[in-house]
Structure 1
Amino acid sequence: MVKPIIRNSIAYLLCLCLLYPVTKVFGVDDDAITIVAAGDLYLGGSANPYLKQRGYSYPFESTKDVLHSADIAVVNLEAPLTNKTEIFMNKEFVLKANPDSSEAIKAVGFDVATLANNHIMDYGQEGLKDTITALNKRGVSYTGAGEDLNNARKPAILNVKNKKIAFLAYSRVFPEEFYATDISGGTAPGLFEYIRDDIKKIKKDADIVVVSFHWSEELLKYPKEYQIKLAHLAIDSGANLIIGHHPHVIQGIEKYKNGLIFYSLGNFAFGSISQSSPEGILAAVRFKGNQIISAEIIPLNVNNKEVFFQPKVLEGERAEVAMRNIQEISDRFKLTIMAREGKGYIQLNEELKSASLP
């Protein structure tokens, strides 16, 4: 059952004040750090005619203000950036994007790309090398894949406002042949011991730890039990924020202890005309020190029959419907989302529950 959202009441206004809305303007606290996370990015496929005509910046025109306003923006890079033609193995879907698109990825504000997914190795070791070269050329940090297992498990570390923010990424999807080994490149496999050990190791030096998982199955709205276990393990090991990808649709959101879990952000700019993935979200999470002080959900229209490969922020009734749907799929986690002007603000403080209708 969808929880009612209070409107036009003192309690509702009090909640909104305490929830620190974070979209541009992301607040006035100079010490706070805002991380914006986007879903699956694929600058190729059916989008190619638009990209060739309008350039690689075209998909970001409607969301660039939000991305630029973040202190750090992170995205799942779903396709290798390569011009190679020899595929690694036969699959139903093989993806790639032009390495030149890395310039637009950086220019729009993305600081980190997660590579632990089921397509980054579609063109093998050479395709992965081309991707890393393209990202390094533009100054985009990456994590989740590398020339061997040790490098695939290495975090991307950024220093912002005298704080060290670490990103880790793991894949829990097939094909297993994409997983890195001690002697071959690939993605970081999401094994329990790797996740636990990597987080505990980096937590000694990092103020904030963000972990990305490529998991679940496509078009599934609710997380599987193993996703919940992995996310809880990551937070118990010291992670602050969990972001999920791969289902291509939005999954529920959970507040667990002092951490926040977005089980799936859905698609972002993705070169497919499938009607099965009409909406995605940007998650804007704000930290003070290593504590989350606010979290905002920005719903996106990613139905490419309507937006033509340029995600657009939902407004009006469609935004309200999207927020109600996100509330519904998050109900099992007893999460409360306050809605205002088409965006959602996650209730973080227990004290605010008295402001919610039963």
Structure 2
Amino acid sequence: MPLTIAAVGDVMLGSDWPSSNLPRKNILLPAAALLKAADIAFGNLEGPLCDGGTVTPGKANAAHSYAFRTPTKYGKWLQEAGFDVLSVANNHASDFQGTGRTQTLRTLERLQIAAAGASGAATLVKGVAFLGFATNQVSPNLNAIAAAQALVRQAKKTSTRVVVSFHGGAEGAAYQHVPRGGESFYGESRGDLRRFAHAVIDAGACLVIGHGPHVLRGLELYKGHLIAYSLGNFATYGRMSLRGPGGVTCVLSVTLDEGGKFVQGRIHPMVQTAPGGPQPDPTKQAIKLIKALSQADFGKSAPRLAPDGQFT
């Protein structure tokens, strides 16, 4: 049977470090109906769910480095919004070292939300295998393409539908386009994302979902499979910049057939304004932006978006 996945970008529900900047109500609820309408709802958990712990030494200077710590009690909001699986493969997963990673995984397990990217093993959710990649030392590395392909082939043994998510690419409004070749940011190799995405599809992945640049990027159809190169900021409260394209977001709905082939998709446009949290966007900025970026970067390989965000 066909299956629909609702995917979003970065989710960070506020931080209590270095000082408390936390919302008073569940900022995810305006998108809950869209997430729950899908068979599986996916997002990137941008930072640990953690009580206490010690900040990673390299991020201890709050004036010059970003580190996030969301209290574990806020995990309930993820469950209320309808998330089934969250990636923990990103550059903030270790903001509070091993303590943060362990508490995050325990909290998600308690809430019956699957975690992707904590290891190279695929996470099965309703028969779909999820893999998460980043550029850190605790998750599978997207720069190791041959190793990534091997993990996809292994996951393919457990499911006909393998979804790959990655946290990569340079960050900010200047990096909305997907370049050819590798990207770097502050001296860190952030991946050759076209090469990576094509390689994991060649190995058997049926859908690739990107996040990391904090802005939306274009969509590409490659060998009958969809690649979303970045779904941007989705629900990022407090310290994230939401100016300009940083505040334009969406819920991406993708339907796959039994073999994993792309059937149809839709962009549900949303927007964030400070201090953060998604709201429906009647101006449909996300549709217009993704359409323009897709056509500019991928030409004939870009899906054709209708004015309401649908594409086949």
TM-score, length of structure 2 as denominator length:
0.86
Supply the distance in 2 between the matched residues of 1:120 and 1:281 (Cα, whole angstroms): 23
Q: Aligned pair in 2 of structure 1 residues 127, 336: CA closer, same or farther (>3 Å)?
A: closer
Q: Aligned pair in 2 of structure 1 residues 328, 97: CA closer, same or farther (>3 Å)?
A: same
Which deviations, in whole Å up to 9, do the C-alpha atoms of 1:8-31 show, x marking residues without a partner? xxxxxxxxxxxxxxxxxxxxxxx3
Instruction: Choose the corresponding residue for 2:129, options 166, 189, 192.
Output: 166
User: Where in structure 1 are there 5+ consecutive unaligned residues?
Assistant: 1-30, 146-151, 173-177, 180-185, 348-358
Contact (CA 8 Å) 2:234, 2:250: kept in 1 or not?
yes
User: Structure 2 matches for 1:260-279, cutoff 5 A?
Assistant: 260-271=226-237, 272=239, 274=241, 275-276=243-244, 277-279=246-248
> Shift of the alpha carbon at 1:313?
1.9
Which deviations, in whole Å up to 9, do the C-alpha atoms of 1:209-243 show, x marking residues without a partner? 11001000102101233100000001000001000
> Shift of the alpha carbon at 1:87?
1.1
Contact (CA 8 Å) 2:89, 2:116: kept in 1 or not?
yes
Contact (CA 8 Å) 2:15, 2:71: kept in 1 or not?
no
Q: Aligned pair in 2 of structure 1 residues 80, 261: CA closer, same or farther (>3 Å)?
A: same
Supply the distance in 2 between the matched residues of 1:233 and 1:132 (Cα, whole angstroms): 29
Does 2:241 match 1:289?
no
Percent identity for Structure 1 against Structure 2: 29
CA RMSD of aligned residues (A): 1.8
Corresponding residue of 1:61: 29
> Shift of the alpha carbon at 1:49?
5.4
Contact (CA 8 Å) 1:111, 1:141: kept in 2 or not?
yes
> Shift of the alpha carbon at 1:324?
2.4
Does 2:184 match 1:221?
no
Contact (CA 8 Å) 1:337, 1:344: kept in 2 or not?
no
Tell me how many residue pairs correspond in the alignment.
284
Q: Aligned pair in 2 of structure 1 residues 198, 273: CA closer, same or farther (>3 Å)?
A: closer
Supply the distance in 2 between the matched residues of 1:251 and 1:281 (Cα, whole angstroms): 11
Larger of the two Rg values belongs to structure: 1
Supply the distance in 2 between the matched residues of 1:258 and 1:34 (Cα, whole angstroms): 16
Corresponding residue of 1:237: 203
Supply the distance in 2 between the matched residues of 1:108 and 1:237 (Cα, whole angstroms): 33
Corresponding residue of 1:134: 107
Instruction: Choose the corresponding residue for 1:312, options 279, 283, 308.
Output: 279
**Which moves more between the two structures, 242-251 or 89-98?**
89-98
Corresponding residue of 2:184: none
User: Structure 2 matches for 1:1-358, cutoff 5 A?
Assistant: 31-45=1-15, 51=23, 53-54=24-25, 58-91=26-59, 92-145=65-118, 152-159=119-126, 164-172=127-135, 178-179=136-137, 186-190=138-142, 191-219=144-172, 220-225=175-180, 226-271=192-237, 272=239, 274=241, 275-276=243-244, 277-290=246-259, 291-304=261-274, 308-315=275-282, 318-319=283-284, 321-331=285-295, 332-333=297-298, 334=300, 335-340=302-307, 343-347=308-312
The one-letter code sitting in structure 1 at the alignment partner of 2:247 is P
> Shift of the alpha carbon at 1:323?
2.1
